[in-house]
Each structure stands twice: as C-alpha cells, then as structure tokens.
C-alpha cells in the first residue's frame, strides 16, 4: 500500500525536464533570484552562483563549483567557549608569568563580565604528542593521541564577546539572529546524497541545546527545505512517529491529491507536496534505523564509551556514534554539539567563569573519549578521506582570572579551531596567539576565513555562493573571508 517510489503523477511531471527548466519555480525566493541574475550586469568571474533548485526535488544532489575535497562535513561544536589555553594552545610564557598582572593592560582591565585579576597559568599540564610532538594538554588525553591527524588554527578571532551572537557567527557567519546556518548553505548549494535522511542534521547535546539554540541549524531566510533537522539518540525528530492507520491514510491522501492534480497539470508545488509525504514515510523508517545503536558491536560501544554507566558520558558517546552513522549514510552536513546552556553558566557547558578547573574536570571526560573514538572510527572506516571534520567553539578565554573568581572571562581576540580529514594538512598548526594567548597575532584568521575554507573544501567558492534576500546578495561570509590555503593538503 505504501509505495516508496514517487507517485505516478509526480513521476510523469519529473520527466518533462525541458518544461521544468523553463518553468521558474514554486520556490518563490529562488525564482526571484534567477530573475535578478538575468537582470543584472555582473562581472563574469565574481558573479553570484545560485544553485539551480528543481522545485519538485529541491534536495537533489547538485554539482559544486569545482572538484571538492570533502563530500561531507562534521562540525563538532563545544558550546560555552572552551578555553584554548587549557587545551590546544600551549603558552609556556603564561605559565612563567603566573600571578603577575597582565602586561600593558589598564588597571581596570574590563572584559565581558567586568574586572580581571592577574595572569593565571594553564590549569592543565601540556605534553608533546605523537610524532609531531605537538603540545596538547592532559585535559583531552584521547584527542591528544590523534595529534598527528589534526590541523590547528590557533589564530581564530570572533566579532562578539557574547555567547549568543558569537555562536551565531560561528554557525551562520553573522552575529545577528535570522541568518542561514553553514549546513543550510551547504544543502542549498549541494543538495542531498542521502535519499531517505535529511541533508543536514544537528545533534544537540543530551543535556539540551547550545546558547544560540536553533540558530545553529536554522535556514534563516533560505527556503525551509534547507533547514537542519535536529535530533539525537535521546530526543527523536518531532512528529516522526506515525499515528495508527498511517499507510492506509497515506494512500488515500495520495489518491485524493493526484485527482486534484489533474486540474492543475504541471503544478510543481502540488506534485512536490505529494512527493514530500513519500519522503516523510521513508524517514519514518530510516531515522529510527539510523538512531538505533543496538546493532553496533560491544567493542564499538565500549570504544566510544556508549556503555558508560554515567549517563552524561554515555549520552554524548551515543550522539557521537549517531554522527558516524549519519555520515556513513551520506548525510551532507552533521553538527555535533557538546554543551548546553539550559542548565546555566558553566554547569552544562564550557563557560568557565567561576571555577574553571572544577568545571572542566567534569566536562572534558564527557567530551574527550567519545569524540576521539568518533574520529578514529571515521578514519578506520575510510570516511575521513572524504569527510571534513571541524572542531570549534564560539571564542576563547582570557589569560587572566576574573576578579574574585577562579575562572576566565570571554576572549574573542584569540582562540583555536581545528580540522581533520578530507583536504587538510595533518600535524599542522597555522597562526598563533601572542605569548600569553590573549590575542591572535600571526596569520590572524576570522570566522569568515574558517567558513570560506570549509566551503572551499566542499568545492564551493564562498564569494559566489549566494542567495538574494532583501536587497542584498547574501553569502555565508558576508563580504569577507579568505580561504586559508596554508591548511589545505
């Protein structure tokens, strides 16, 4: 009864290719964009490229601008601003100057939350790792073992020192609410390779959503078809479970809709709606399947820590496994979040204002082992060859403690992100902060640069991938950004 293929009427439509291509579209925004592109004079080499979206199948796989290195992207996002000074950015001078005032800082050295005290040494020991000898702290012992595979950018800068806007920027390019997320841009540009799963999945931490919430996977002003679908092992997609009588009901609906379509032959919106119910039916099967970890071997579960008795640890570990399963099934863009703001400052995330060491002693073990297992697993399965992995956080933390506290305040002027996988160098470090880890000084990189590089690896020119909205040819990178060629392999 439940025919997974496209309905008869829909199929007939889809074959009429020539007709379709002339036809403008049911997606009003896109019709508009193509209209504009014809209207305007643009320089040949920088003219906006707006993907041709077939309205009857807006998620059809599309060609990139040039040959890509990566087919998929996994973004691992540590929400709350994970301190670069405690993790990846080794600052021996900071250790040496422990307890001294920040050189050159005003007496009343104000940052996000207010006054700061003196410099404080990194709170974890750093050791040389792998053959490269990269200094990484003991906070992330498992990830540290992967040092030879990682490609660090130590000179990241953000435009805001507030979590929400900075997280917005990291995921959408803009500090404001309402802009499309990176994953939405990717699915807008490239469509989907997975025919029964969303093109773009966000996996929120089991404890809740990050500070900027759904903005991380929002489609902003792009058509809703490009929005990220959020679910994790604990919390499935809303409304995925079909009520009783599903198959029979679906069949009758299809017949009624096909009958109605006869009055509007060639109408894409109507036929796309018929097809959408068929994809929904497929997702009702495929999403529970991909979220079902019971078929994973005991050794895999153990490697990730998915069998850990601590539900916080096993919860995140299961999300890591889900990420791998999604990538395996060719989901284009996966966001994996660690940390949630729903529980308050620092309690469930990396926002270490008050008692940084105590908080990180809790959070690091939740994150480290499963994340490292995920990367090793991707590597072992060959998925790293064409999957780009990005680790990021919204900004860094200050080399000082806040006045009267044992934690560090927000620092948007210098922090670390790293890549591994498709198209990037291994055991490589790019850019640097100053000796105290306060500000990026060498090869200063912006979030625009990070995004430009990610798009580049997907075979997309960040200056050309655009969408017309409200008078402006919008890009993920606004009017900024340079591909960081030095990190490309």
Partner 1 sequence: MKTHTVAAVYHRRIKTLLRVSCCSALVIPVLATELPPPSNRPVDFVKDIQPLLHDTCLKCHGPEKQKNNYRVDVKSIALKGGDTHGVAIVPGRSAESPLIKFVAGLDEDMVMPPKGERLTADQIGLLRAWIDQGAVWPDSASTPLEDPRKTHWAFQPVVRPPVPAVTAAGISVRNPIDAFIAARLAEKGLAPSPEADRRTLVRRLYLILNGMPPTPEQVAAFIADTRPDAYERLVDALLASPRYGESWARHWLDVIPFGETHGFEVNTPRENAWPYRDYVIEAFNKDTPYPQFILDQLAGDTTGADAATGFIVAAAALLPGQIGKDEESKLKARQDELNDMIAGTGGAFLGLTLHCARCHDHKFDPVAQTDYYAMQAIFAGVRHGERPLTTSESKEREKELPALRTQYEAVSFRLLDFEPLASDEGTTPQRPRVPVNARLNVDRFAPVKTQRLRFTALATSENNRYEPCLDELEIFTAGPDRRNIALASAGARVSSSGNYRGNTKHRLENLNDGLYGNDHSWISNTVGQGWVEVKFAQPETIDVVRWGRDRDLKFRDRLAVQYRVEVADAGGGWQTVATSGDRAPYRDDKSESTPIPPGLDDARLVAWHAASGEAKELEKKLREATQTPMLYAGRFEQPAPTFKLYRGDAMQRREQVSPGAVAAIGSPLQLPENAPEQERRLALARWLGDRRNPLPARVLVNRIWQHQFGEGIVSTPNDFGRNGARPSHPELLDWLADEFMSHGWSIKYLQRLIVTSATWRQASAPVPMAMQKDAATRLLWRFPPRRLEAEAIHDSMLSVTGVLDLRMGGPGYSVFAPNFNYVRVYDPKVEYGPAEWRRMIYQTKVRMAQDSTFGAFDCPDAGQSSPHRARSTTALQALNLFNSGFVSQQAGLFAARLQREAGDGNLDAQIKRGFQLTVLREPAEDETRLCAQLAREQGLPVLCRVLLNANEFLFIP
Q: Which of 294, 297, 299, 470 binds partner 1 (CB under 8 A)?
A: 470
315 is a site residue for partner 1 (CB under 8 A): no
Verify binding: residue 64, partner 1, rule CB under 8 A: no
Tell me, by CB under 8 A, how many residues bind partner 1: 112
Select 92 or 265, whichever has its Cβ closest to partner 1. Answer: 265
CA 375 to chain centre: 15
Tokens of 296: 């994973």
Cα distance between residue 25 and residue 337, in whole Å: 35
Residue 26 sits in the site that holds partner 1 (CB under 8 A) = yes
Binding mask 136-165 for partner 1 (x = CB under 8 A): ------------------------xxxxxx
Task: Choose, by CB under 8 A, the member of 1, 52, 63, 252 that binds partner 1.
Answer: 252
Enumerate residues 347-406 that contact partner 1 by CB under 8 A: none
- How far is 457 from 452, CA to CA, in rounded Å? 9
Integer distance in angstroms from the first to the last C-alpha of the chain? 51
For the CB of residue 156, give the shortest distance to partner 1 in the complex, in Å: 13
93, 148, 193, 267: which one binds partner 1 (CB under 8 A): 267
Distance separating alpha carbons of residues 223 and 267, to the nearest angstrom: 18
Q: Does 259 bind partner 1 (CB under 8 A)?
A: yes
**DSSP reduced 3-state for 202:** strand
DSSP element (H, E) containing 333: strand 333-338
Q: Scanning residues 178 to 197, which ones bind partner 1 (CB under 8 A)? A: 178-179
Site for partner 1 in 80-119 (CB under 8 A): 110-114
Contacts of 197 (CB under 8 A, 6+ apart): 283, 286, 287, 290, 326, 329, 330, 331
52 binds partner 1 (CB under 8 A): no
User: Is residue 208 at the binding interface for partner 1, with CB under 8 A as the rule?
Assistant: yes
Write down the least CB distance from residue 326 to partner 1, Å. Answer: 16
Q: Pick the piece of the chain touching partner 1 (CB under 8 A) from 144-152, 329-337, 373-381, 479-487.
A: 479-487
> Based on CB atoms, which residue is closest to partner 1, 57 or 387?
57
Identify residues 217-246 at the interface with partner 1 (CB under 8 A): 218, 220-225, 227, 229, 237-246
Residue 444 CA to residue 59 CA, distance in Å, equals 36
For residue 355, the cross-strand partners are 406
Q: Does 489 bind partner 1 (CB under 8 A)?
A: no
DSSP 378-432: HHHTTGGGTEEEEEEES-EE-SEEETTSBS--EETTSEEEEEEETTB-SSEEE-E
């Amino acid at each position: 009864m439940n025919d997974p293929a496209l309905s008869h009427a829909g199929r007939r439509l889809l074959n009429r290719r020539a007709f379709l291509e002339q036809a403008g579209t049911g997606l009003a925004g896109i019709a508009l964009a193509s209209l504009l592109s014809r209207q305007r004079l643009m320089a040949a080499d920088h003219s906006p490229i707006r993907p041709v979206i077939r309205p009857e199948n807006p998620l059809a796989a599309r060609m990139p601008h040039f040959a890509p290195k990566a087919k998929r992207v996994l973004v691992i996002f540590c929400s709350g601003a994970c301190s670069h000074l405690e993790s990846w950015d080794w600052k021996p001078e900071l250790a040496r100057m422990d307890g001294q005032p920040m050189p050159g800082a005003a007496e009343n050295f104000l940052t996000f939350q207010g006054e700061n005290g003196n410099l404080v040494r990194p709170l974890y020991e750093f050791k040389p790792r792998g053959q490269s000898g990269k200094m990484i702290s003991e906070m992330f012992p498992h990830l540290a073992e992967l040092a030879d595979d990682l490609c660090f950018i130590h000179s990241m800068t953000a435009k805001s020192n507030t979590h929400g806007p900075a997280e917005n920027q990291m995921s959408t390019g803009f500090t404001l609410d309402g802009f499309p997320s990176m994953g939405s841009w990717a699915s807008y540009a490239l469509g989907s390779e997975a025919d029964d799963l969303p093109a773009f999945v966000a996996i929120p931490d089991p404890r809740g959503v990050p500070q900027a919430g759904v903005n991380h996977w929002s489609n902003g002003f792009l058509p809703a078809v490009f929005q990220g679908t959020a679910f994790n092992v604990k919390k499935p997609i809303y409304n995925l479970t079909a009520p009783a009588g599903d198959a029979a009901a679906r069949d009758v609906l299809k017949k009624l809709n096909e009958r109605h379509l006869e009055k509007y032959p060639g109408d894409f919106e109507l036929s796309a709606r018929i097809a959408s119910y068929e994809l929904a039916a497929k997702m009702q099967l495929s999403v529970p399947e991909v979220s079902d970890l019971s078929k994973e071997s005991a050794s895999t579960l153990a490697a990730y820590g998915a069998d850990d008795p601590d539900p916080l640890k096993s919860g995140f570990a299961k999300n890591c496994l889900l990420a791998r399963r999604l990538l395996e099934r060719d989901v284009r863009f996966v966001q994996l979040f660690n940390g949630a703001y729903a529980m308050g400052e620092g309690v469930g995330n990396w926002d270490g204002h008050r008692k940084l060491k105590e908080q990180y002693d809790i959070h690091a073990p939740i994150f480290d082992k499963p994340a490292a297992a995920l990367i090793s697993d991707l590597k072992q399965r060959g998925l790293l060859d064409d999957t780009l992995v990005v680790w990021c956080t919204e900004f860094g933390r200050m080399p000082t403690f806040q006045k009267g506290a044992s934690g560090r305040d927000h620092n948007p002027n210098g922090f670390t992100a790293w890549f591994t996988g498709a198209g990037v160098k291994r055991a490589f470090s790019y850019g640097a902060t100053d000796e105290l880890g306060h500000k990026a000084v060498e090869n200063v990189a912006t979030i625009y640069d990070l995004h430009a590089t990610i798009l580049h690896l997907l075979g997309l020119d960040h200056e050309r991938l655009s969408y017309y909205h409200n008078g402006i040819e919008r890009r993920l990178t606004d009017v900024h950004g340079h591909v960081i060629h030095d990190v490309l392999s």
